[in-house]
Structure 1
Amino acid sequence: MTAAPTLSFYSDPTEFLAAAEPYLAADPVRGTVVASVAHRMAARRAEGVALPENDWWLVVRDASGAVVGAGMRCAPFPPRPPFLLSMPDQAAVALAHTLHRRGERVRAVNGALPAVRVCAEEVARLDGGRVEVAQHTRVHVLDALAPPAPVPGALRVASAADIDLVVAWFGAFMADADEQAGRPRGTSAHEAPDRAELLRRIRDGRVWFWTDGSGRPVHLTAANPPSFGVARVGPVYTPPEQRGRGWAGNAVAEVSRLLTAEGARVCLFTDQANPVSNGLYARIGFRPLVDMANLVLVD
Structure 2
Amino acid sequence: MTVTLHFHADPVEFLGAAGDHLAADPVVNTVVASVAYRMAARRADGIALPADDWWLVVRDDSGAVVGAGMRAAPFPPRPPFLLPMPTEAAVALARTWHGRGERVSAVNGALPAVRACADEVARLRGGRVEVAQHTRLHELDTLVPPAPAPGALRLAGEDEVDLVGTWFGAFMADADEQAGRPRGASAHETPDRDDLLRRIRSGRVWFWTDTAGRPVHLTAANPTAFGVARVGPVYTPPQQRGRGWAGNAVAEVSRLLRAEGARVCLFTNQANPTSNRLYARLGFRPVVDMANLVVVP
Is 1:78–1:189's contact at 8 Å kept on the other side of the alignment?
no
Q: Which amino acid aligns with 1:242?
A: Q
Q: In structure 2, how many angstroms separate the alpha carbons of the residues matched to 1:173 and 1:17? A: 30
1:176 matched to which residue of 2?
174
Residue 146 to residue 191, structure 1, CA distance change in 2 (3 Å): same
- Structure 1: unaligned runs, 5 residues or longer: none
What percent identity do the matched residue pairs reach?
A: 79
Q: Which amino acid aligns with 2:146?
A: P
Is 1:182–1:273's contact at 8 Å kept on the other side of the alignment?
no
Residue 222 in 1 paired to residue 216 in 2?
no
Q: How far did residue 159 of structure 1 move? A: 1.0
2:104 matched to which residue of 1?
106
**Equivalent position SS for 2:224:** coil
Q: How far did residue 185 of structure 1 move? A: 1.7
Q: In structure 1, how many angstroms separate the alpha carbons of the residues matched to 2:43 and 2:181? A: 37
Q: How far did residue 178 of structure 1 move? A: 2.6
Q: In structure 1, how many angstroms separate the alpha carbons of the residues matched to 2:10 and 2:107? A: 21
Q: TM-score, normalised by structure 2?
A: 0.98
Listed one character per residue, the Cα deviations across residues 110-144 of structure 1 (whole Å, up to 9, x for unaligned) are 00000000000001111111001110000000000
2:252 matched to which residue of 1?
254
Q: How far did residue 191 of structure 1 move? A: 1.2
**Equivalent position SS for 1:116:** helix
Q: How far did residue 184 of structure 1 move? A: 3.4
Q: Which amino acid aligns with 2:265?
A: C
Residue 257 to residue 27, structure 1, CA distance change in 2 (3 Å): same
Q: In structure 2, how many angstroms separate the alpha carbons of the residues matched to 1:74 and 1:50? A: 13
Q: In structure 2, how many angstroms separate the alpha carbons of the residues matched to 1:93 and 1:183? A: 28
Q: After TM superposition, list the pairs within 5 Å mapping 1:1-299 onto structure 2.
A: 2=1, 4-180=2-178, 183-188=181-186, 191-299=189-297
Listed one character per residue, the Cα deviations across residues 23-69 of structure 1 (whole Å, up to 9, x for unaligned) are 10000000000000000000000000000001000000001100000
Q: In structure 1, how many angstroms separate the alpha carbons of the residues matched to 2:202 and 2:142? A: 26
Is 1:174–1:190's contact at 8 Å kept on the other side of the alignment?
no
Q: In structure 2, how many angstroms separate the alpha carbons of the residues matched to 1:152 and 1:32? A: 32
Q: How far did residue 189 of structure 1 move? A: 7.1
Q: Which runs of 4+ in 1 moved over 4 A?
A: 180-183, 187-190
Q: In structure 2, how many angstroms separate the alpha carbons of the residues matched to 1:187 and 1:65? A: 41
Is 1:77–1:189's contact at 8 Å kept on the other side of the alignment?
no
Residue 122 to residue 181, structure 1, CA distance change in 2 (3 Å): closer
Is 2:105–2:294's contact at 8 Å kept on the other side of the alignment?
yes
